[in-house]
């Protein structure tokens, strides 16, 4: 039987040590964890070989911790102080990414469901690396606060965009036409 706690300890400990080595070379410790994953993963040493379900569980756990850290950094007073500009950045980045990818895929393929599907994935970002580097270098200030707010709320908006997009794609694929009544009936009948 595999001792998952021991494997997690080895991965974290080795990642920490290699991360300190990369930090010594003036490279962020996140690179050390990536190198560790490559070394102990299935393609090099094969120490850790996870099933897709285990990978999904670990990913959700890690993203939960990242979201917790972001939430701990954001306060109502900080968001009020940043004002409407941060909201404009979040909406602009998410809707902008969706629009550019949608137009690009649709113009290349002329396939509406495919364009919506790819566009729905475009606003998603990977906040883990950003948050890790900010905490590693103990960065403080307006820019750091703005970055944390953007990566935190951007992912929330990306999830909403993805959920609506998948529902619309489901309707387009099943009925061939989209309407709000089809969307509502599909959601409540699921």
* Total residues found in the chain within this entry: 190
Token pair for 15 = 């990642």
Q: At what angle do helices 4-24 and 29-40 cross, to 10 degrees?
A: 130
User: How high is the pLDDT of residue 178?
Assistant: 56
| Mean per-residue pLDDT over the chain, rounded | 77
pTM higher than 0.75 for the full model? no
Choose between 178 and 47: higher pLDDT. 47
Q: Which residues contact 31 (CB under 8 A, 6 or more apart)?
A: 19, 22
Token pair for 136 = 């590693």
Instruction: Give the whole-angstrom CA distance, residue 102 versus residue 178.
Output: 16
């Amino acid at each position: 039987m595999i001792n998952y706690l021991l494997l997690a300890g080895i991965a974290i400990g080795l990642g920490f040590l290699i991360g300190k080595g990369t930090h010594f070379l003036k490279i962020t410790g996140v690179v050390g964890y990536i190198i560790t994953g490559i070394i102990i993963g299935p393609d090099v040493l094969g120490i850790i070989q996870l099933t897709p379900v285990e990978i999904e569980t670990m990913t959700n756990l890690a993203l939960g911790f990242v979201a917790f850290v972001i939430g701990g950094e954001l306060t109502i007073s900080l968001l009020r102080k940043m004002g409407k500009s941060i909201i404009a950045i979040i909406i602009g980045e998410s809707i902008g990414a969706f629009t550019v990818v949608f137009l690009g895929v649709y113009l290349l393929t002329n396939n509406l469901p495919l364009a919506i599907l790819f566009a729905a994935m475009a606003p998603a970002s990977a906040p883990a690396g950003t948050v890790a580097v900010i905490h590693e270098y103990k960065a403080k200030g307006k820019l750091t606060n703005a970055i944390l707010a953007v990566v935190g709320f951007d992912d929330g908006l990306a999830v909403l965009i993805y959920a609506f997009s998948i529902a619309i794609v489901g309707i387009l694929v099943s009925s061939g036409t989209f309407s709000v009544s089809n969307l509502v009936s599909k959601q409540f009948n699921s």
